[in-house]
Amino acid sequence: MKVSLLFPRSAHRRQGALLLPALGLLLAAAASCTAPRAIVATGKVTPQGEFRGAYNQGFNVASAPLDKVGRAVKDAATQAASQDRVDYTDATTQLQAAALAYVLDPVQPTADLSIRYGIIPRLDAGYKYAFGSHVFDAQFQLLGPTGSPENPGAGAASGVTYASVGLQFATQRAKLPNLPFLDDINSVLNFRATRNDLLVPLIISQSFGPEEEIGAISYGLVYGHSWVSYGFAPDKIFNGSVKVPELPRQTRNFSSFGGFVNLKLGYRYFYVIPAVSLFYQNYGDYALLNGQSTSLSGVTVVPSLGFQLRLPNMRR
């Protein structure tokens, strides 16, 4: 039997004082350890010797009708969690498919704190902490000037086009979102998983003001690839009188394809960045307990809102 589901120095101090309360509220709303997929960068990399700090809050939204599937799964999960013994049925297969879907494409808030540094004129690198997921990335600028608002050089004009390519690698211990019915599912299935994610965005942007002094509009394409390891080790699921054996660690990988647009607005030192990204992925086939399997695919929308603090290189 195969089940198919669709799941989817002074100025800096003043800006920091304004930023901290807002970050506190947003951090309180963050409940994610998911690797970030929101693209909030522009085609211009961090100028050499500069730092940029940022906070980004988003939401991973699967396009599939999870409300209908969720109600059925919730009822089955609640009933199974309350029993000492669970007979393997189609509902048990659905519980496993739901657990996998929520790990592969979680419907939940996403958040990350990041810092970036301009290494050389066309290359920067950074680190993001996504509350459980560790993310390392770099970006290389292919097109456009490499100055700053204080020293614009060839970029002393509005409307200049920039382009860059990025590379982001994230590693995490994947877990189900903190939702009651998913806790019930995990109590029945003893589900565990890890994953690594790679993103390669191609970013094109147009500057507002010299060297993005008041911001930019950015858009582009994204390729992603993910590697997932998972397994189930239930201790109360039976097939007749025989206890269903655990599913040993399985490994799968899949690709994602998408696009994005973002808007960077502010002045020199502080910017607000609303963005939206759209991805399609065919996750492929996944083995389940009792010799069953499921196939998963879906479209994901990732709206986000970011806040960026720029620390210029005063030596330039």
Give the DSSP H/E element, type plus range, for residue 260: strand 247-267
User: How far, CA to CA in Å, does 259 sit from each of 64, 118, 194, 223?
Assistant: 19, 25, 26, 9
User: How far, CA to CA in Å, does 106 sit from each of 35, 98, 177, 214?
Assistant: 11, 10, 7, 34
pTM of the prediction? 0.84
Write down the domain spans for the chain.
Answer: 2-311
Beta-carbon contacts of residue 128 (< 8 Å; ≥ 6 apart): 36, 112, 113, 114, 134, 135, 136, 137, 170
Which CATH code is given to the segment(s) 2-311?
2.40.160.20
User: How far, CA to CA in Å, does 74 sit from each of 5, 98, 288?
Assistant: 16, 10, 19
Say if CB 171 and CB 137 are below 8 A apart: no
Sign of CA dihedral 74, 75, 76, 77: positive
User: How far, CA to CA in Å, does 235 sit from each of 79, 81, 94?
Assistant: 16, 12, 18
Q: What is the pLDDT along the chain (316 residues), one digit of tens a residue?
A: 333 333 334 434 444 443 433 343 344 344 445 678 999 999 999 999 999 999 999 998 875 435 435 677 788 899 999 999 999 999 999 999 988 988 888 888 889 999 999 999 999 999 999 887 899 999 999 999 999 998 886 666 778 999 999 999 999 877 777 778 888 999 999 999 999 999 999 999 999 999 999 999 999 999 999 999 999 999 999 999 999 999 999 999 999 999 999 999 999 999 999 999 999 999 999 999 999 999 888 899 999 999 999 998 866 5
Place of tokens 């609303």: 274
